[in-house]
Amino acid sequence: MLKIDDRLLDMVGSEAKASTRLRMNYNIHKSLDAPVQRLLNALEPGSVLPVHRHRNTDETYIVLRGAIKVMFYNYKGELQESCIFDPCDGNYGVNIPAGTWHNLEVLARGTVIFEVKEGPYAASAPEDILEING
């Protein structure tokens, strides 16, 4: 049993604050080749996530603590929509369909999200990262 409580969120959040990337994963799945990737992702403002896509799997974010803005782009890198997710405002998360270009901005210190996508884990290929100019 894994208890997801303030103690665990505080621990992962402390690791994120100490990380040069300003984020830290806490994997719930047992291995990187597990068929379902479930993790806590602690993020701090200033953490940079590139615009990317997952061609073959949906990705779900549920905000447990803090707030994020998720941005959606077309294949040309043009912003199409953005949504703020903050559980204090009754906006908890999003399911991002496979193939959708997206990234997120961390809006609050101590943000932790629960993230789910199909496995196995695969690092983003260059063609799945979108360079945005400007």
CA separation for the pair 112, 134 (Å, rounded) = 28
pLDDT tens column, 58-103: 999 999 999 999 999 999 999 999 999 999 999 999 999 999 999 9
Question: In the predicted model, what is the mean pLDDT of residues 106-123?
Answer: 94
Q: What percent of the chain has pLDDT over 70?
A: 99
Work out the number of other CB atoms within 10 angstroms of the CB of residue 53: 23
Which residues are bridge partners to 129 per DSSP?
52
On whether the CB atoms of residues 104 and 69 are closer than 8 A, the answer is yes
List domains and CATH numbers for the chain: 6-119 (2.60.120.10)
Query: What letter does residue 47 receive in the DSSP assignment?
Result: -
